Amino acid sequence: MSLPSHAEILAQVVPQREKWTDFRPPDAVVPGPGQESCWDFPRPPEVRDVAERVEVIWQGEVIAATDQAKRVVERAGAPVYYIPPGDVRPGILVPKNQLSLCEWKGVAAYYDLSMNGRRVADAAFAYPDPLTDLGQGYEAIAGWIALYASRVDEARVGGEKVTPQPGGFYAGWITSRFTGPFKGDPGSEGW
């Protein structure tokens, strides 16, 4: 499957970027010591290093573990964690003929998980050739794998079990270090 050029993608996404506002809900939780509010995250989103170990468990086995993860943070969303492909168990990601378009990062390619005769559809994605026009560092996650916490048994950051971002569409991981509310629930479509 061939990806569109950056110029073709930008022609589609630049008008979408202009729709975003600095909206902040009145019930945004004020972060406590050692916490971050998703409402203080930037838009456009940016890539940040992760200091803690990141692990993903499926069927009782660790299928991904790394001390080199990166997270993408964006206003209103839980951080999305990206794992170097070499730190994901070989042979379990099955590429799909499915793409989606993010107005900031570009085209995402999707994967199913397959192991021990079981398969989970649309469990992971990656940006093979992310956009670089904004200077937000998306090239640092080129080809890295983001797994949906809701589609595996468990995901952890620094040993803490994460909660999947609500709604099922976004791949954000929520820990006690982040406050919301987070987009994904009904009524948050315009965030």
Q: What is the pLDDT of residue 99?
A: 93
**What DSSP element (H or E) covers 155?**
strand 154-157
CA distance 2 to 46: 26
**What DSSP element (H or E) covers 15?**
helix 6-17
| Average pLDDT of span 53-76 | 97
Set out the domains of the chain in order of their start, with CATH numbers.
6-14+39-179 (2.170.150.40)
| Average pLDDT of span 109-121 | 97
Burial of 118 (0-12, 13-18, 19+ CB in 10 A): exposed
pLDDT band (50, 70, 90) for residue 120 = very high
* Amino acid at position 60, single letter: G
Question: What is the rounded (10 degree) CA torsion for 143, 149, 155, 157?
Answer: 70
CA distance 34 to 175: 12
Encode pLDDT of 145-173 as tens digits: 999 999 999 999 999 999 999 998 899 99
Query: Does the pLDDT of residue 20 top 70, yes or no?
Result: no
Asked whether the beta carbons of 179 and 29 are under 8 A apart, the reply is yes
| Average pLDDT of span 22-31 | 88
